[in-house]
Amino acid sequence: MKSRFITFEGIDGAGKSSQIAAAVALIESRGLSVVQTREPGGTPLAEKLRALLLHDAMHLETEAMLMFAARREHLAAVIEPALAGGRWVVSDRFTDATYAYQVGGRGLDEARFAALEQWVHPHLQPDLTLLFDLDPIEAARRLAGTGDAPDRFEREQADFFERVRNAYLRRAAADPARIKIIDAAQTPEAIRREVEGIVLETCFQ
């Protein structure tokens, strides 16, 4: 069976991290080998860039370029070799997050985003993207419940996450065959069933 590249997206607190393990377990239960990874990060160097991105203030274009620098490393060291070797890749975020957060949330020029995407991965796109869609007020309530110290993105206000959410939905509308929208207000159990159904339907046909 052809290897697949699956990504999980959504605003902070939408509940995607909680569901990734279940999706990976489902794929592995079919006897397939899966690499579970995340962005920004996924390699030692990209994890160092992640620490800068999540905690240090910087110019918006620096932020966008560092996201793509981390991605370049991640593609070269992890994603491309895994797919070439027949392994599946499941990533917590990829380029749709840069569109949503840097273009939608922060106002990065769309042409600059498109140029970086074209530079870093002109041909590769995920085979399937699961977009966890949730009201930012509910997402903030969930995050507050974790008790974790918020990072530079999680400290943003609801209007920022409303722009991020809308940018994700625009990107999904532009590519409905790839990006499947999940109503993340459902119970974890209902979401797990929906995620499994979509993965089985789109990747195992």
The residue ranges that bind ligand ADP (CB under 6 A) are: 10, 12-18, 142, 145-146, 187-188, 191
Q: Are 23 and 197 in contact (CB under 8 A)?
A: no
Q: How far is the CB of 189 from ligand ADP (least distance, A)?
A: 8
Rounded to whole angstroms, the Cα distance separating 8 from 12 reads: 12
State yes or no: 185 annotated in a binding site.
Answer: no
| C-alpha of 102 from chain center | 13
Q: How many C-beta atoms surround the C-beta of residue 118 within 10 A? A: 10
Compare residues 40 and 136 and give the one whose CB is closer to ligand TYD. 40
Give, in order, the Cα–Cα distances in Å from 90 to each of 33, 37, 48. Answer: 11, 6, 21
State yes or no: 148 annotated in a binding site.
Answer: no
Looking at residue 156, its amino acid is E
State yes or no: 27 annotated in a binding site.
Answer: no
Tell whether residue 153 is a contact of ligand TYD (CB under 6 A).
Answer: yes
Q: Which of 101, 132, 161, 168 binds ligand TYD (CB under 6 A)?
A: 101
Compare residues 96 and 120 and give the one whose CB is closer to ligand ADP. 96
Rounded to whole angstroms, the Cα distance separating 5 from 80 reads: 10
- Could you tell me the sign of the dihedral formed by the alpha carbons of 90, 92, 94, 97, in that order? positive
Radius of gyration for the alpha carbons in the chain, expressed in angstroms and rounded: 16
Tell whether residue 97 is a contact of ligand TYD (CB under 6 A).
Answer: yes
Which residue number places its CB atom closest to ligand ADP? 15
State yes or no: 10 annotated in a binding site.
Answer: yes
Residues 17-76 touching ligand TYD, rule: CB under 6 A, are 17, 38-40, 67
- Binding site feature residues: 10-17
Which residues of the chain form contacts with ligand TYD (CB under 6 A)? 12, 17, 38-40, 67, 92-93, 97-98, 101-102, 151, 153
